[in-house]
Structure 1
């Protein structure tokens, strides 16, 4: 058995209150390849929390059998701050109550520090292990005081020493999909296929937002873009959207956990070969550029009625939904919502009482959407 548990204290937000991160680690960090996974960074997204419980149970069995060749770190809940933010019952753990900041935005990225090192280095030939040490040193220098700042720094420091970083999320009501860097298109597509996700959204290096997985990809991407390491030699990070908020069940979680193990096996972290579930049927993965993703807004307040479901094809100008105005001038008055892309519906709202300006749907198309700012492709909500 190679298991160990880490407890990382966070600053107390108030007298008598304690917060901590928990990490479970398996294998030997000096052997083979390594992987980091966490869930619940958006604390109102719960499918990944159950997936990681199933994954921990399976890793424990693999560890007992000596089948973990590399090193695996699992953080079963990445945001104890958000998980404690309840408003009259429901968890409202997507935004920090202190400043309104999205918990999965504004992580400190590594591209500037790495680019400066490359520019000043006489010899850019460094091993992946040496690059990891540089990344870790950069993160260690971050000055953090608030609980959220310290939490973000510690999550990034835990993850950065690993070759593979997977951040488990979900959306409101959606098909499974994967976000990853354009420099890792092939591995992102393989991950989506293994997870049974029909869509991969590929981010340009200047997508903006400072999401958690971008800490890892900003460092490795800068090295890879400089021609110092190939795609396979570089680390890989991705965000996996595990369906919708209501899709929490042992059946789905067990299958997702096994698929994650299949990906880790393919990446050389495990010696065991993980079989494909008998009822698993992987289809083709549609790959779209992130700047071709359209966040279609609700035009008015009311009850939204959808004519398209996640995964359905859409055409520009097609009616995808209508908002029924409860205070309209006529009974059952409706305002149409049109698709502005040729592609697929990825996400729609779970709760159907909507407000003006609220996202009605996320649609993915092949062509860049007009008026999208390439440097802020990840929205703040």
Structure 2
């Protein structure tokens, strides 16, 4: 009989309902799986999007997808980690589709099923509640709003034991997304201009990465003065409060015609149009903001075609996490990527407060500490 481990997990059972801490059980790892004792896990906007069913997923479900912790047990086929290793969990990918094999696992052809399907690719899941009823899991291949999470060898990243483990979870999604968009997907060049539309965790990570990349004009666009002040502290050379100033006109003024790169981080369709319109000739606009399913926005086709502007969809920064996350940790160790300035910690039982503070803009990146 397959072994089961007791857990405490935050479960969403109804759309837009508060998450409820429940007792339950999780299966022992299958051959290619890794059971992780979660030390801390970030709270991401995508958790809220799914809680509210703006992305449709099966319920009830254990959310959470920025987990970091210690390996508790491994399946018999696992070779990269052993019990006691420290790991960050990231998005799940299949490894055998054309996109994965071409070096772009973040755009895996099975991304939807593996990360939002509520179970493994074969439809199975590993979590039951206190009554023995199944609960959907494997959210982003981890469901880390739980004291134990079951990940796959593919979506865990081993980290040094002297790294600050409770801080590292957001590197697996939000921080990776913003910085990877700049350093990998867009390939921001030294001496170029870059504008981030939205200065939450993703946008501020992008700003820090643009500084690392050597961009000389780094522009932050938002409506919250405190976030714009933090953007300047983290590397922005110019800021725009878009409630007070037309960001397109301001960016054209700052750059002498338009930005070489823009990144839409807000998930708002009208803001995407601004990010496109603010581009220079041959400029690139990356899209990372999560929008409700079916969201569309109008664009002026000739204003994209004639100046050769490019619009790029980006998931998880288009990075290979096992390479990229250790690089971010090293940047942080060197003082060049101070993402800890975005973070506020909460105990696990304050998960709904952490979510509310994030939605209200009180906290940029909440991290939940699990009970010892």
The answer, yes or no, to whether TM exceeds 0.5 is no
- Bigger radius of gyration: 1
TM range (shorter): under 0.3
Give the TM-score normalised by structure 2: 0.26
